[in-house]
């Protein structure tokens, strides 16, 4: 799922970032470069992405929790 079209960030990239830098949104942005183009994905739904950054953070956290519970 595409999270940031300008920087080609995917949900998998967000999951990887969370595993590396934790849950801090700013640290994840720096790690992935999400929102460094037009920044539309950071707060508003962007027609060019499947999942805006804030929703991607929630989904990535849920995926990581599911993996831990297996």
Residue 70 confidence (pLDDT): 82
Residue 8 confidence (pLDDT): 96
Alpha helices by DSSP H, 7-52: 11-21, 25-32, 40-43
Residue 69 confidence (pLDDT): 87
Half-sphere exposure of 35 (CA within 13 A, CB side): 20
pLDDT tens readout for residues 45-59: 788 999 999 999 999
Q: What SS3 state is found at 45? A: coil
pLDDT tens readout for residues 17-31: 999 999 999 999 999
Please give the CATH architecture assigned to the domain spanning 2-68. Orthogonal Bundle (1.10)
Residue 44 confidence (pLDDT): 74
């Amino acid at each position: 799922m595409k999270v940031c079209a300008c920087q080609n960030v995917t949900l998998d990239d967000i999951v990887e970032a969370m595993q590396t830098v934790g849950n801090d949104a700013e640290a994840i942005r720096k790690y992935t470069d999400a929102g460094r183009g037009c920044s539309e994905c950071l707060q508003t739904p962007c027609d060019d992405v499947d999942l805006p950054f804030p929703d991607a953070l929630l989904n990535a956290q849920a995926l990581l929790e599911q993996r831990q519970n297996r």
